[in-house]
Chains A and B, each alone.
Chain A
Amino acid sequence: MAKSVLTVDDSASIRQMVAFTLKGAGYDVVEAVDGMDGLQKAKTKPFNLILSDQNMPKMDGLTLIKSLRALAQYKTVPILMLTTESSDGMKAQGKTAGATGWLVKPFDPQKLLEVVKKVIG
Chain B
Amino acid sequence: MVDHAYEEVLAPNHYFDRHFDTEAAKILPGEYYVTRRDMLIVTVLGSCVAACIRDRNNGIGGMNHFMLPEGQESSDPLSNSMRYGTYAMEMLVNQLIKLGAKRQNLEAKLFGGGNVMRHFTIHNIGQRNSVFAVEYLKNEKIKIVAKDLEGLHPRKVYFFPQTGKVLVKRLRNIHNDTIFDREKEYSSRLRYTPIEGDIELF
Contacting residues, chain B, for A95 (C-beta < 8 A): 202
Count of chain A residues near B, Cβ 8 A: 34
What string of 1s and 0s marks CB contacts (under 8 Å) between A92-109 and chain B? 001100011111111111
Contact: A88 with B91, CB < 8 Å?
no
- Chain B CB within 10 Å, residue with most, of A91, A106, A111: A106
Contact: B86 with A17, CB < 8 Å?
yes
Q: Which of B157-202 contact A (CB under 8 A)?
A: 194-202
Contact: A13 with B140, CB < 8 Å?
yes
Contact residue among B1, B77, B87, B98 (Cβ-Cβ distance under 8 Å from A105): B87
In the assembly, what is the distance between CA of A17 and CA of B97, in Å?
A: 22
* In the complex, A48 has a CB within 8 A of chain B: no
In the assembly, what is the distance between CA of A107 and CA of B136, in Å?
A: 17
Least CB distance, B96 to chain A, in whole angstroms: 10
Contact: B196 with A101, CB < 8 Å?
no
Contact residue among A14, A101, A109 (Cβ-Cβ distance under 8 Å from B200): A101
* In the complex, A63 has a CB within 8 A of chain B: no
Contact: A11 with B90, CB < 8 Å?
yes
In the assembly, what is the distance between CA of A109 and CA of B199, in Å?
A: 12
Contact: A101 with B199, CB < 8 Å?
yes
Known: A11-B86, A17-B77. A107 touches B200 (CB 8 A): no
Across chains A and B, the number of contacting residue pairs, with CB separation under 8 Å, is 89
Contact residue among A87, A88, A99, A107 (Cβ-Cβ distance under 8 Å from B83): A107
Contacting residues, chain B, for A99 (C-beta < 8 A): 202
Least CB distance, B179 to chain A, in whole angstroms: 26
* In the complex, A45 has a CB within 8 A of chain B: no
In the assembly, what is the distance between CA of A13 and CA of B86, in Å?
A: 7
Contact: A111 with B199, CB < 8 Å?
yes
Contact: B199 with A115, CB < 8 Å?
yes
* In the complex, B102 has a CB within 8 A of chain A: yes
Chain A contacts to B: CB under 8 angstroms: 10-14, 16-17, 20-21, 55-57, 84, 86-88, 91, 94-95, 99-109, 111, 115, 118-119
Chain B contacts to A: CB under 8 angstroms: 1, 6, 77-78, 82-84, 86-87, 89-91, 93-94, 97-98, 102-104, 136, 139-141, 194-202
CB-CB nearest 3 A-B residue pairs: A104-B197, A108-B196, A106-B87
